[in-house]
Amino acid sequence: MKNRIIKIIVFVSFFLLFISFINTYLSVKLWDYDFWWHIATGRYIVEHKALPDTDPFSFVNNLEENKNPHPLREQLILKQYWLAQVVFYKVYDTFGDRGIIFLRSFILFSIIFLIFWWFNRQKVSFYITYPFLFCIFIETMIFSGERPVLFTILFSVIVFIILDDFRQRKGRLVFSLIPLMFIWANLHGGYILGIVIILAYIIAEAVHFIFKRDIFDKKVFLTLCILGLSALAVSAIIPNGFSAFLTLTSQGKAIQASVIEYQSPFRLYKAQVRPIDYEYIFLIIPASNSFIINSPSV
């Protein structure tokens, strides 16, 4: 009887928490200043059935004296979001502001729900899951702008869950890595994070396999390598190819200095450009410890 009451309390607690998350997400109006550029670019791509080679919204940009000194960076910015921009434009053109708000809310809530589902599958304690999800929610509110980076946040969680599912259960979800990485690479340049996750996972499993510390047999391990590397290969089938790596390596310092998204949050805290996100720090500490996986559930 006592366990049943506890389960009911846990269920109601998460239900109310999720309802409050959804209500808050849906109540945030369009606010991101880059959104209208993404919409305009999406409309340009749909109408011209081609990606822009130069900024189509500024005639002074085409003047010789205003020639961009960083052409690689310009091409990266113009073409790395094209699919997300088309999606945003189509949704906005069909449903208006409400459509974009719903899409943004759906993506953000999906991130939280997937993490909750994974925690529940790992039998993580309620006392860890509940505050962890609440902190994730607070952090997602910072990224509630209507930007293509929303897809990167969502897809990074999905890639992690797919790889973890394969490691623990040898699930068939791993076969979805190939189309997933192809779509992600055309949505946002953050697909590089997906490449890092997959490579790190393959390298870690290779070490385990070599030292006989894993449950994978040779066939399963080769399947992981082939699918993982194939997923990385198809991510190059985008307008920019792998030039994003060249841009980041050749102009990394210039980009980091001028684009706030590329700067470490701790650097921003030190410069007092951004208030300290205590929730972010809270998320890092338990996430780096294995006890979050092994904690007993309620």
Which among 233, 182, 174 is positioned nearest to 205, based on CA atoms? 174
Residue 32 and residue 132: Cα distance in Å, rounded?
Answer: 26
Q: Is the confidence at residue 290, as pLDDT, over 50?
A: no
Q: Is the confidence at residue 298, as pLDDT, over 60?
A: no
Residue 275 and residue 138: Cα distance in Å, rounded?
Answer: 14
pLDDT of residue 150: 94
The token pair that represents 164 in the structure block = 């973890």
Q: Which helix (H) or strand (E) holds 124?
A: none
> Are 83 and 239 a contacting pair, CB within 8 Å?
no
Please give the share of the chain, as a percent, with pLDDT higher than 70.
78
- pTM of this structure: 0.87
Length in residues, the chain: 298
The token pair that represents 80 in the structure block = 């790395």
pLDDT digit string (tens) for 30-63?
Answer: 999 899 999 999 999 999 999 998 888 876 666 6
pLDDT of residue 297: 45
Return the axis-axis angle of helices 243-258 and 191-210, rounded to nearest 10°: 120
Residue 138 and residue 171: Cα distance in Å, rounded?
Answer: 32
Query: For the ranges 91-95, 111-115, 259-263, which has the lowest average pLDDT?
Result: 259-263
Q: For residue 188, what is the DSSP state? A: -
Structural domain spans, the chain: 1-144, 148-262
The token pair that represents 3 in the structure block = 């366990």
Residue 113 and residue 160: Cα distance in Å, rounded?
Answer: 14
* HEC profile of 144-173: CCCCCHHHHHHHHHHHHHHHHHHHHHCCHH
Q: Interior CA angle at 173 toward 169 and 175, to 5°? A: 120
Q: Is 229 helix (H, G, I), strand (E, B) or coil?
A: helix
pLDDT digit string (tens) for 144-191?
Answer: 789 999 999 999 999 999 999 998 888 889 999 999 999 999 999 889
Query: For the ranges 104-113, 142-151, 187-196, 260-269, which has the lowest average pLDDT?
Result: 260-269
Residue corresponding to tokens 């559930």: 297
Instruction: Please report the DSSP string for 246-274 in residue order.
Output: HHHHHHHHHHHHH-GGGS-HHHHHHTTSS
Which amino acid belongs to residue 245? F
**What mean pLDDT comes out for the span 234-253?**
71
Which among 50, 72, 54 is positioned nearest to 63, based on CA atoms? 54
Neighbours of 256 (CB within 10 A): 15
List, in order, residues 6 or more apart from 190 with CB less than 8 Å away.
Answer: 149, 151, 152, 156, 184
Query: For the ranges 112-116, 179-183, 293-297, which has the lowest average pLDDT?
Result: 293-297
